[in-house]
Amino acid sequence: MSGTGKGVSSALALSNAVTNLAASVFGEHRKLEPMAPDTKERWKREVGWLLSVTDHIVEFVPTRQTAENGTTMEIMSTAQRRDLQMNIPALRKLDAMLIGYMDNFVDQSEFWYEKGGDNKRDDDKWWMPTVKVPAEGLSEVTRKWLQYQKECVNQVLKAAMAINAQVLVEMEIPEVYIESLPKKGKTSLGDAIYRSITDEEFDPLEFLEGMDLSTEHKVLDLKNRIEASTIIWKRKMQTKQEAKSSWGSIISFEKREQFEERAETILHLLKLQFPGTPQSQLDISKIQYNRDVGYALLESYSRVLESLAYSVMSRIEDVLGADAAAQNLTATEAARRVMEGDAPRKLDAKEELEKLNEAPASMTLYDFMGWHFDQDELMRKKEEGTLDEAGEAKLKKAPSLAPKKFSYVESLSAGGMRSPSARH
């Protein structure tokens, strides 16, 4: 864990190890199909080795101890660091859920992938295999099942994103990055973006609609500019030297705080709208200069799970897109079908994980067909007014294939989600 003597910190060495392992395991997985058993076992084993380091990252916590004479005293004992105690089991759960969602595609036969190079894609995913569906499109049940699978994966994606964002916020901003920033946020943003953010009638959604975000490079450039400006404004507010600053004499402390909040909102919307965007300069700098091994493992593990979830969602969208094309749907209708209904809001790691606790277990196509038809029959009876109390209760209840819920406390008590310790 010393960075192999190349001047790399232990934290960065572990971060790179998790990233490289994920690339070697998932890099060639380009279809909606289960992972090979040996590949799945390798991922589980090797990521467990890397995460086992966190079992030995501890902090002092007060505990009560009873002496032989019956006297109770409070002493300081060691326990796994709190953030690792909560987030490592949660990430292991997200990991298992993603693998399970991929396993659900084992028996499907309504779509397949083009073999050979006769029918190559001509879009921005030219390296991906071309998906094929029947001439009349997918069946209604399969289409709804795919939408259901997509929503399940999306919940995992949001939870991984929330944990990753939380860890990155807690990481210290390197001095190297701070020294590279201009003195004013306006310089970083440019006149046009600065005017938009400081406008009285600012609307973040309208702002993004007016920006050219046609390429990944342009999205990343906007993110870098806005992140730099938020750091500049935060540092100016922390100095509390408004009277001495020529910029501060023009704009009040409250206004500057408002601009910083607007910039944070834009960053959040960018992350939601473009989840596959590469890391920003700030994120790269934090990861590179971070010296906390716990943060390094949390960040890298959540990042690779976020990437995997986004990849699985993209594969599902490819199938739904092929289905829409087979049915000659217009672009508007196809977009409406796959569009998320929730309004953008800030992701919270604990809240997203609680949603996953209450979500139904993953379902294969056959499981979904049984549940789907049962629900249709109950809905019909409800409309006719012939639904009894038992049926109404069943209609309200989510499909419960595996009623066990996940919680931090249960996972930690059971010990099943802890990293393996056999290595030590």
Please give the pLDDT value at position 235. Answer: 87
Residue 312: CB atoms within 10 A of its CB come to 24
Per-residue pLDDT of the chain (424 residues; tens, 9 = 90+): 444 556 789 999 999 999 999 999 998 888 999 999 999 999 999 999 999 999 999 999 888 888 888 888 888 988 999 999 999 999 999 999 999 999 999 888 899 998 755 555 556 677 788 899 998 889 999 999 999 999 999 999 999 999 999 999 999 999 999 999 998 888 999 999 999 999 988 999 999 999 999 999 999 999 999 999 999 988 888 776 544 555 544 566 788 888 889 999 999 999 888 988 899 999 999 999 999 999 999 999 999 999 999 999 999 999 999 999 888 865 455 556 555 444 455 555 556 556 655 555 555 554 554 544 455 555 556 666 666 666 665 544 444 333 333 333 333 334 333 333 333 3
Contact 248, 241 (CB under 8 A): yes
What are the structural domains, with CATH classification, of the chain? 10-169+292-363+401-414 (1.20.58.2010), 172-289 (1.20.58.1310)
Query: Are β-strands 58-66 and 131-132 bridged in parallel, bridged antiparallel, or unpaired?
Result: unpaired
Strand partners of residue 76: 62
C-alpha 35/C-alpha 382 separation (Å) is 41
Can you read off the two tokens belonging to residue 299? Answer: 């960040």
Contact 266, 204 (CB under 8 A): yes
Q: How many helices (H) and strands (E) does the chain have?
A: 18, 4
Closest of 92, 144, 93, 127 to residue 316, by C-alpha: 144
**Residue range 45-85, pLDDT digits in tens:** 999 999 999 999 999 988 888 888 888 888 898 899 999 99
